[in-house]
Chains A and B, each alone.
Chain A
Amino acid sequence: MSESAPVLQVEDLRVHFKTDEGKVHAVNGVSFHVNEGESLAIVGESGCGKSVTNMAVLRLIPMPPGEIPTGRILYRGRDLLNMRNDEIRAVRGGRISMIFQDPMTSLNPFLRISRQLTESIELHTPLRGEAARARAIEVLAQVGIPEPAARIDSYPHEFSGGMRQRVMIAMALSTDPDLLIADEPTTALDVTIQAQILQLIRRLQRERGMSLVLITHDLAVVAGLCTRVVVMYGGTVVEVAPVDDLFADPRHPYTLALLRSVPRLDAPPGRALEPIEGLPPKLMSEPRNCPFAPRCRFVRDRCLHEAPPLEADADGRLRACFVPIRAGQAVDAAEERP
């Protein structure tokens, strides 16, 4: 683990949304950090708050209906939540770039690719006009767009989904950001294309020494790409671990359930997949219990009345659970419910 100061540090972040049905507590006291040059995965089911957390990083939460009652988001020591509008705009797309899930809808259909690329470059770098265009062609080449000089004046609808996601990546990288946040960058793509895009992101991240936050619900994606994993559930962080440790020794019941619910090549043949029963919480009120308790097979009375804090185990791994778990079993196995 790098000892240098983290690029990004999120502390006790809360995000609420006011809706017709009431206030949704989407993110409830999330803390994590991203080290320099590190690639961090944030994993969880849809609706667990992982995307909202990262939208909050760039202050892209529409307010209203959203609100951020507490929290700090430090980028190189400066709180993004307190920045003036022009300061945060310089960070957005300049220092921190984002890639979104659906490349089919994330590019403006009315503008040429060239325009969409150069407006970023002109905003965040000293390059102007032809120089900006040359830079745009250069990044398009880097992300593997064939004949970039010819295709740069195309419209998004003239590209395939995979190509569009490459354009999105080019757009995000064209300004040489320190941190790239990729929000489910491959979910909307064909499986074969997914692998290519992930390869591309990994290569570019290593070449540029840039930090990466990869948001995904797909554990398979995490294994090859990231060094550390943050597991989120119900708007909270439930476990943080280096990727190999997490797979080998999950210590939160949710992580365990998550791992058992996906197929693994190293699993013994004939082993059944175990779906996680029940539904993720709706977060209509401030959680006063462990959010996973209603679905947890290790649940105890305490879990229903008290929210477990995110605390370090003896070996320094962080998890938020009252029940000690080793090798897929509660250590005091008698406690497990019949």
Chain B
Amino acid sequence: MSEPARGETALAAAPTAERIKGTSLWADAWRRLKKNRMAMAGLWITAVMSLLSAFAPAIAPFDATYKYEWLVTRPPGFTHPDVLVKNELRLGHAAGVPDSYANARSLRFEARDVRRTKYRVFIEDGRVDRILRPGERRDALEATGESYLAFRRDGVLVPLAVDSLRSGAPAPAALAARRVAIVFLCTPGEPVVIEATQEEGRVVSLTRNGRPEERVEFDGRSVRRVLADGEEQARTHLLGTDGGGRDVLSRTLYGGRISLLVGLVATLVSLIIGVVYGAVSGYFGGWLDMALMAIVDVLYGIPYMFLVILLMVTFGRDIVVLFVALGAVQWLTMARIVRGQILSLKQKEFVEAARMSGTGHLGIVFGHLIPNTLGVVIVYTTLTVPAVILQESFLAFIGLTVEYQGRSLASWGALVNDGVRALSSDGGNSWVLLVPSLAMAVTLFSLNFLGDGLRDALDPQQRGRT
């Protein structure tokens, strides 16, 4: 070309001249994604939730299945001495107390039994009509100085003024709307102090109120304080306990494992079926494509969740059945999307080049075509995971919880179901519902935002389509 060379100054000085940057599709997509604040938040939250769930056994403060039977439905932040439901100390044996005490030299349990007497209070027109102790009728309760009165509401004992119940007197406001109320007169027993010393994991000395004993058993509920090597031992349920006395935070962490696992594996199943089916259909085209797509059309007309329910009812609720069932529901859309992509991709020159260089059909489909559909596949996968999690939770909600080797697995859906069932009329135990619901909603929210953002980043033409 005879065009005279331009001086460097001209280019350098021209503020409008722009260097052309070569950026790969992926780098470009990542740059676009990073600009989308909601998608990035979604990405981080998804990552955090996944890590929390994956490492649930290490993170969870409590055993998710252990029931502190006397600590049911305690609010978030509730603290209690660290003991088991049934504790046993026996000379020469390992202590039957929480594992965390295994290395303590001295142990001191301060307990106080409570004797409860159950009364039935009949209320008419807001006044106490009569009070029945099983078998006999009374007009008032026999209370001693240290007694206190409580009634059971939503599995929790709520205190009442001791002298508030008397025949003919107005009923306490908390009971006024009822016709019959069960109240407990709780009379604290004598304080008990159990002390033990351990060596090499065995109990070597044991006293009860100062007297040596061979063996002491005590109820977790009676324990007021625990000292291990002189230090008070207490545990906190950060997010409270549920109606079974299980730690809500731990259950939610473990529940996330199940939900995310189901979401991931079922999505993977659908991914494999969908991508292969769609790729084969799109690549070979012709009558095969027509036949395969006709099948997809027909299957689209089937109300799938009903079949999944039927499948789980008839073939059991094993997690493997669920993976297959949910995966089988989801692959149709993936197959259509991949087919569409392959149809346009196979016209491109690089496919022709691969064919001429002797690559076989399989090589072209798996080596050249499918890798090029990756963007769309990733986007759709990200959006499928939350959909599957939602479907599993539906199943759990209607009572079809997944099982593994006969054990029921409490996914988020199952936890939410528990929370809904336990929800009291005044919402006083709402954390049992809200904690797993929020965990699930936040995760689904993040995954959906991430999927949206990925679509905008990877597939700008599709921008904004759902």
Q: Which residues of A contact B (CB under 8 A)?
A: 20, 234, 274, 277-279, 281-285, 287-289, 291, 293-294, 297, 299, 304-305, 337-338
A274 to B14, CA, bound (A): 23
Are B18 and A294 in contact, CB atoms less than 8 angstroms apart? no
| Residue of B3, B6, B15, B16 with highest tally of chain A CB at under 10 A | B16
Closest 10 CB pairs of A and B: A281-B16, A294-B14, A304-B13, A282-B18, A294-B17, A277-B3, A337-B4, A294-B10, A285-B15, A299-B10
Given contacts A294-B10, A299-B10, A304-B9, contact A287 B3 (CB under 8 A): no
A325 to B15, CA, bound (A): 25
B463 contacts partner chain A, Cβ-Cβ < 8 Å? no
Q: Which residues of B contact A (CB under 8 A)?
A: 1, 3-4, 6-7, 9-11, 13-18, 20, 35
A145 to B69, CA, bound (A): 87
Chain B residues positioned under 8 Å from A274 (CB to CB) = 3
Are A304 and B14 in contact, CB atoms less than 8 angstroms apart? yes
A285 to B18, CA, bound (A): 12
A291 to B3, CA, bound (A): 19
A283 to B6, CA, bound (A): 21
Are A281 and B17 in contact, CB atoms less than 8 angstroms apart? yes
Chain B residues positioned under 8 Å from A20 (CB to CB) = 35
Chain B residues positioned under 8 Å from A289 (CB to CB) = 13-15
A234 to B4, CA, bound (A): 22
Residue of B nearest to A299 (CB): B10
Classify the interface of chain A: helix, strand, loop or mixed. Answer: loop
Nearest CB in chain B: distance from A308 CB, A: 15
Nearest CB in chain B: distance from A279 CB, A: 8
Chain A residues positioned under 8 Å from B16 (CB to CB) = 234, 281-285, 287, 291, 294
Residue of B nearest to A234 (CB): B16
Are B4 and A288 in contact, CB atoms less than 8 angstroms apart? no
Return the contact of A284 from the options B11, B13, B18, B20 (Cβ within 8 A).
B18
Return the contact of A293 from the options B1, B3, B10, B20 (Cβ within 8 A).
B10
28 contacts between A and B (CB under 8 A): A278-B17, A279-B17, A281-B14, A282-B16, A282-B18, A283-B16, A284-B16, A284-B18, A285-B15, A287-B15, A287-B16, A288-B15, A289-B13, A289-B14, A293-B14, A294-B10, A294-B14, A294-B17, A297-B3, A297-B4, A299-B10, A304-B9, A304-B10, A304-B13, A305-B13, A337-B4, A337-B6, A338-B4
Nearest CB in chain B: distance from A43 CB, A: 20
Chain A residues positioned under 8 Å from B35 (CB to CB) = 20
Nearest CB in chain A: distance from B34 CB, A: 12
A334 to B426, CA, bound (A): 94
Return the contact of A337 from the options B7, B11, B17, B20 (Cβ within 8 A).
B7
Chain B residues positioned under 8 Å from A337 (CB to CB) = 4, 6-7
Chain A residues positioned under 8 Å from B4 (CB to CB) = 297, 337-338
Chain A residues positioned under 8 Å from B9 (CB to CB) = 304
Nearest CB in chain A: distance from B456 CB, A: 12
Chain A residues positioned under 8 Å from B11 (CB to CB) = 294
Chain A residues positioned under 8 Å from B7 (CB to CB) = 337
| Residue of B4, B10, B18, B20 with highest tally of chain A CB at under 10 A | B10
A4 to B208, CA, bound (A): 118
| Residue of A287, A294, A299 with highest tally of chain B CB at under 10 A | A294
Are A294 and B3 in contact, CB atoms less than 8 angstroms apart? no
Residue of B nearest to A289 (CB): B14
Nearest CB in chain A: distance from B337 CB, A: 24
Nearest CB in chain A: distance from B195 CB, A: 71
Known: A294-B6, A337-B6; 19 extra A-B contacts, CB below 8 A, are A20-B35, A234-B16, A278-B17, A279-B17, A279-B18, A281-B16, A281-B17, A282-B16, A285-B15, A287-B15, A289-B14, A294-B10, A294-B11, A294-B14, A294-B16, A297-B4, A304-B13, A305-B13, A337-B4
Residue of A nearest to B15 (CB): A285
Nearest CB in chain A: distance from B380 CB, A: 25
A304 to B7, CA, bound (A): 12
Residue of B nearest to A21 (CB): B18
| Residue of B7, B17, B35 with highest tally of chain A CB at under 10 A | B17
A277 to B9, CA, bound (A): 16
A268 to B433, CA, bound (A): 87
A336 to B14, CA, bound (A): 19
Nearest CB in chain B: distance from A295 CB, A: 8
A294 to B14, CA, bound (A): 6
Chain A residues positioned under 8 Å from B3 (CB to CB) = 274, 277, 297
A291 to B1, CA, bound (A): 23
A300 to B17, CA, bound (A): 17
A299 to B11, CA, bound (A): 11
A305 to B14, CA, bound (A): 9
A305 to B10, CA, bound (A): 10
Chain B residues positioned under 8 Å from A277 (CB to CB) = 1, 3
Residue of B nearest to A301 (CB): B9
Nearest CB in chain B: distance from A188 CB, A: 20
Chain B residues positioned under 8 Å from A293 (CB to CB) = 10, 14
Chain A residues positioned under 8 Å from B15 (CB to CB) = 285, 287-289
Nearest CB in chain B: distance from A34 CB, A: 29
A305 to B9, CA, bound (A): 12
A338 to B5, CA, bound (A): 8
A294 to B5, CA, bound (A): 11
Chain A residues positioned under 8 Å from B6 (CB to CB) = 294, 299, 337
Nearest CB in chain A: distance from B43 CB, A: 19
Chain A residues positioned under 8 Å from B14 (CB to CB) = 281, 289, 293-294, 304
Nearest CB in chain A: distance from B342 CB, A: 26
Nearest CB in chain A: distance from B270 CB, A: 35
Residue of A nearest to B7 (CB): A337
Chain B residues positioned under 8 Å from A278 (CB to CB) = 17
Residue of A nearest to B3 (CB): A277
A52 to B135, CA, bound (A): 95
Nearest CB in chain B: distance from A270 CB, A: 14
A164 to B287, CA, bound (A): 36
A297 to B7, CA, bound (A): 10
Nearest CB in chain B: distance from A23 CB, A: 13
Nearest CB in chain A: distance from B113 CB, A: 71
Nearest CB in chain A: distance from B121 CB, A: 70
Chain B residues positioned under 8 Å from A234 (CB to CB) = 16
Nearest CB in chain A: distance from B8 CB, A: 11
Nearest CB in chain A: distance from B23 CB, A: 13
Nearest CB in chain A: distance from B59 CB, A: 39
Residue of A nearest to B20 (CB): A279
A284 to B18, CA, bound (A): 9
Nearest CB in chain B: distance from A261 CB, A: 12
Nearest CB in chain A: distance from B17 CB, A: 5
Nearest CB in chain B: distance from A181 CB, A: 27
A309 to B1, CA, bound (A): 32
A287 to B13, CA, bound (A): 12
